[in-house]
Amino acid sequence: MDSKRDKASDAAANPAQLHKKMLQLLSSLWVTRAVGSFARLGLADVMEDGAQDAIAIAAARGLMPDRVYRLLRALSTVGLVAEPARGKFTLTPLGRLLGSHAPNNTKTTAVFLNDYFADMWMHLDDALAGERTGFEALKGKPFFDWLREHPDEARRFNRMMLEVHGPETPAIVAAYDFSPFEHVVDVGGGNGALLSAVLAAYPNRRGTLFDMAEAIGAAKREEGGPLPGVSFVAGDVFTTPAPAGGDVYMIRHLMHDYDDPDCVRILGNVRRAMKAEGRVLVLEAPLPSDDSPGPGRWLDLQVMVLCGGRERTVEEYAGLFSQAGLRLNRTVPTQHPAMTVVEAVAADDARA
């Protein structure tokens, strides 16, 4: 065992290996940009339609065959395509996620993360040095204010959120027992996808969706699924009183968009509205409390640069709950690696 550790230590200290590792880190941008172009140009769709030869794939999009071949050859090293014979490529299951046909595709996300979501990282220095975010340095306004002025981008952003978070929805419904609750309130629930799934699994419940007018419009069009009998409340989670009388309030991927004082305002708004015995479900992917590695540490930087938010540990969520008149009750893991149910109750609720 010690000899294995010694070998690993020797490899880490090897100057050539260190140099190689550093170049791999610095060239990660190349992969991101190549994946973005593959998605934006619709090459996965071309391949799903039957084109396998690099010449035919390029012709379908008016591109240069040799350069398309080189792109596909590079992408074969990260598992998006395979090259069983020179110049002939097949799409892998991973690559299909960048096409238009897969039900849980991530095409919009791949393009979005290569647009201004990538450009704002050029302003990481600004974010580290001052109070404004990288997005503000890039666009001149906070992200959510800018989205309100650009409805087309807001729709595209909402599509990306559906792509990123949609697979979490069945995991939440499977992991958490909603049967004790008659009235389910979704705070900042977007197009209502999560609320729709909960009501489908637990029929004959009352549902209320609380979000900005644009999101409520999408929900009424059933973009997130059927919402039979649901009440819609358009408003701001900070300034509009949360819908009263709920048995359980779901808050999915909203808290991490904001700093601590704003999160306490959101939670306090819900605490004032909920029943005394109600539950608050913060649906996030908490950071580990130890030094375990994980993607959350990078998502933490992303939300910092984008909107000034942050990822948190369970203990940090407990601290926010305490400031809002709530207390941490328990955490419920799910089968999705990016989702944990962090459950809070009223601070004066003596029940376990």
Instruction: Tell me, letter by letter, the H, E, C secondary structure of the chain.
Output: CHHHHHHHHHHHHCHHHHHHHHHHHHCHHHHHHHHHHHHHCCHHHHHHCCCCEHHHHHHHCCCCHHHHHHHHHHHHHHCCEEEEECCEEEECHHHHCCCCCCCCCCHHHHHHCCCHHHHHHHHHHHHHHCCCCHHHHHHCCCHHHHHHHCHHHHHHHHHHHHHHHCCHHHHHHHHCCCCCCCEEEEECCCCCHHHHHHHHHCCCCEEEEEECHHHHHHHHCCCCCCCCCCEEEECCCCCCCCCCCCCEEEEECCHHHCCHHHHHHHHHHHHHHCCCCCEEEEEECCECCCCCCCCHHHHHHHHHHHHCCCCCEHHHHHHHHHHCCEEEEEEEECCCCCCEEEEEEECCCCCC
Among 116, 155, 152, smallest CA distance to 136 is for 116
pLDDT number for residue 117: 92
What is the value of pTM for the model shown?
0.87
pLDDT tens profile 106-122: 999 999 999 999 999 99
pLDDT number for residue 6: 54
* Residue 256 annotated among the catalytic residues of the structure: yes
Question: Which is catalytic among the residues 165, 183, 253, 256?
Answer: 256
pLDDT tens profile 172-194: 999 999 999 999 999 999 999 99
User: Position of tokens 């069009």?
Assistant: 221
Name the CA radius of gyration of the chain, rounded: 23
pLDDT number for residue 99: 95
pLDDT number for residue 34: 97
Percentage of residues of the chain with pLDDT beyond 70: 95
Percentage of residues of the chain with pLDDT beyond 90: 81
Average pLDDT score over residue span 139-154: 92
Contacts of 214 (CB under 8 A, 6+ apart): 148, 151, 154
pLDDT number for residue 11: 57
pLDDT tens profile 311-327: 999 999 999 999 999 99
The better pLDDT of the pair 4, 75 is held by 75
pLDDT number for residue 8: 54
pLDDT number for residue 269: 97
pLDDT number for residue 216: 92
pLDDT number for residue 161: 86
pLDDT tens profile 64-80: 999 999 999 999 999 99
Per-residue pLDDT band for 4 (boundaries 50, 70, 90) equals low
Contacts of 104 (CB under 8 A, 6+ apart): 97, 163, 166, 167
Three-state DSSP string of 14-57: CHHHHHHHHHHHHCHHHHHHHHHHHHHCCHHHHHHCCCCEHHHH
Per-residue pLDDT band for 302 (boundaries 50, 70, 90) equals very high
Per-residue pLDDT band for 163 (boundaries 50, 70, 90) equals confident
Tokens linked to 340: 């944990």
**CA distance linking residue 64 with residue 57, whole number of Å:** 10
CA-angle at 211, arms to 205 and 212, nearest 5°: 150
CA-angle at 240, arms to 309 and 262, nearest 5°: 20
The per-residue pLDDT of the chain, averaged, comes to: 92
